[in-house]
Amino acid sequence: MQIGSGYHKKILPLYLIIIKKMIDTSAFQGKKAAYYTLGCKLNFAETSTFGKMLEQMGVSPAAKNEKADICLINTCSVTEVADTKCRQAIRRMVRENPGAFVVVTGCYAQLETETVSKIDGVDLVLGANEKADLVQHLSEAWSMPREGHLHQFQSVKTHDIRSFQPSCACGNRTRYFLKVQDGCSYFCTYCTIPFARGLSRNPTIASLVAQAEEAASEGGKEIVLTGVNIGDFGRTTGESFLDLVKALDKVEGIHRFRISSLEPDLLDDELIEYCAHSRAFMPHFHVPLQSGSDEVLKLMRRRYDTALFAHKINLIKEKMPNAFIGVDVMVGSRGETPEYFEDCYHFIESLPITQLHVFPYSERPGTAALRIPYVVSDEDKKHRSKRLLELSDRKTADFYAQFIGQEADVLFEKASRGKVMHGFTPNYIRVELAPREAKEEFDNQIMRVQLGNFNHDKTALRATLI
């Protein structure tokens, strides 16, 4: 085991028994921390929570270009590229903050603990169970002698990852991310999430309602429900996702809820019906498809077929004709022959969806997908991605164009003085307000606008206040 040198340079116990004792935070008063997050919304929400935890210890965020005393890197391992970016980010943080105490957590830290701990300058690696007790682990580590410690690695098994770290983080003043679920029990053949984040688990509806009420009391207007497999909510508590949605819908002060993503097989017809008439759940859905070929879906061990997916999309549009529907697609997965890709392309083309999030397949060590013999070349992956992205652009532009000339309520977000102000309609159309109309007091306010034409780079519709 590598032992660091110099200021706090040591690798600390990774998966130790949590030592319950009063934490003395005096050593942290006045310290500065820098954060770096890679990956999904859930990671960003969790990093905000880590920031709040450290602030309670007296640690404030380091300003841009200010040297930090503590660096926290929250990693992702969704692709090989993500792994590389994590290693680069860790090294950069170490280089830019000489002598800082460096903590690494997140999916890559969980899956590649030894690799991460061997990076020069890393002091503490926290796995999925340990990160909820960041403060405790950091305090323990901080007070230990700086050199000469040998620590033993003990790898965490998937079923051991059971802690749930609550998180309701404020992305900007307007939007909060409420973590309603963590982990996944699906084991799709290409995915490492169950190994990185553990099995599906969730807190109670009552605790989530309390967090939403707190966000409302802080002035939050919009909450995005985040998680890994949100529709699986209830495994731990025996409650249902629909009951959670109904309970949150009653939280006064929150004007908008969005659901970050729902597996098609868990997107109940009843939930769609409810959202169509709810007070605050927006006509905005994100449904991962991954492939529009039934043969590839079987190879991926996804729990639905294209017929079920089409039924869900068509039902959303029947109940909420203006709904925005985002869809994830993975291209070039093992087994995706040119014919299967064409099936996928035409299936997506036929559906009333709004936007595609296209991901090229990336080989992940230890996954069952590696046993599928047919491999797609990088060149074909690029070509397929390009075709789907072009299709996505056309669909998004057609969707936006339907609303030109109509009125809408837009929740505006903070803008720098003299710059255009942005916001979103209920159905997630990005709207731009010219600097001459934008005012600071519109930040975090819902304003009625008339939607005009596309802006210069076609990423938003121009709007005028009514």
Q: Contact residues for ligand SF4 (CB under 6 A)?
A: 184, 186-188, 191, 193-194, 228-229, 263
The nearer residue to ligand SF4, 127 or 194, going by C-beta atoms, is 194
Residue carrying the six token digits 């009420």: 213
Q: Minimum Å distance from CB 304 to ligand SF4?
A: 11
CA–CA gap between residue 35 and residue 45 (Å, rounded): 12
CA–CA gap between residue 28 and residue 142 (Å, rounded): 9
The nearer residue to ligand SF4, 71 or 228, going by C-beta atoms, is 228
Structure tokens at 82: 């993500």
CA–CA gap between residue 347 and residue 354 (Å, rounded): 14
Q: Minimum Å distance from CB 364 to ligand SF4?
A: 10
Give the H or E element holding residue 363. none
Closest-CA residue to 300 (of 288, 308, 291): 291
Q: Minimum Å distance from CB 317 to ligand SF4?
A: 24
The nearer residue to ligand SF4, 121 or 127, going by C-beta atoms, is 127
The nearer residue to ligand SF4, 72 or 78, going by C-beta atoms, is 78
CA–CA gap between residue 362 and residue 329 (Å, rounded): 13
Q: Minimum Å distance from CB 306 to ligand SF4?
A: 17
End-to-end alpha carbon distance in the chain: 65
Contacts of 50 (CB under 8 A, 6+ apart): 35, 72, 74, 105, 131, 134
What is the SS3 assignment for 429? coil
The nearer residue to ligand SF4, 7 or 187, going by C-beta atoms, is 187
Residue carrying the six token digits 């060149």: 379
Q: Minimum Å distance from CB 188 to ligand SF4?
A: 3
Q: Minimum Å distance from CB 186 to ligand SF4?
A: 4
Closest-CA residue to 74 (of 99, 51, 97): 51
Q: Minimum Å distance from CB 330 to ligand SF4?
A: 9
Q: Minimum Å distance from CB 336 to ligand SF4?
A: 16
Residue carrying the six token digits 């597996």: 263
Q: Minimum Å distance from CB 381 to ligand SF4?
A: 18
CA–CA gap between residue 380 and residue 384 (Å, rounded): 6
Residue carrying the six token digits 């003085």: 417
The burial of 30, by beta-carbon neighbours within 10 Å (0-12 exposed, 13-18 middle, 19 or more buried), is given as exposed
The nearer residue to ligand SF4, 141 or 188, going by C-beta atoms, is 188
The nearer residue to ligand SF4, 230 or 463, going by C-beta atoms, is 230
The nearer residue to ligand SF4, 138 or 228, going by C-beta atoms, is 228
Q: Minimum Å distance from CB 263 to ligand SF4?
A: 6
The nearer residue to ligand SF4, 229 or 396, going by C-beta atoms, is 229
In degrees and rounded to multiples of 5, residue 155 shows phi and psi of -75, 145
Q: What's the Cα-to-Cα distance from 466 to each of 362, 404, 405, rounded to whole Å? A: 48, 15, 12
User: Treating both helix axes as pointing N-terminal to C-terminal, what angle do 205-217 and 241-249 enclose, rounded to 10 degrees?
Assistant: 30
The nearer residue to ligand SF4, 93 or 299, going by C-beta atoms, is 299
What is the SS3 assignment for 64? coil
Q: Minimum Å distance from CB 291 to ligand SF4?
A: 12
CA–CA gap between residue 362 and residue 330 (Å, rounded): 9
The nearer residue to ligand SF4, 130 or 263, going by C-beta atoms, is 263
Strands, sheet with 168-170, edge to edge from the N-terminal-most edge strand: 168-170, 175-179, 222-226, 256-259
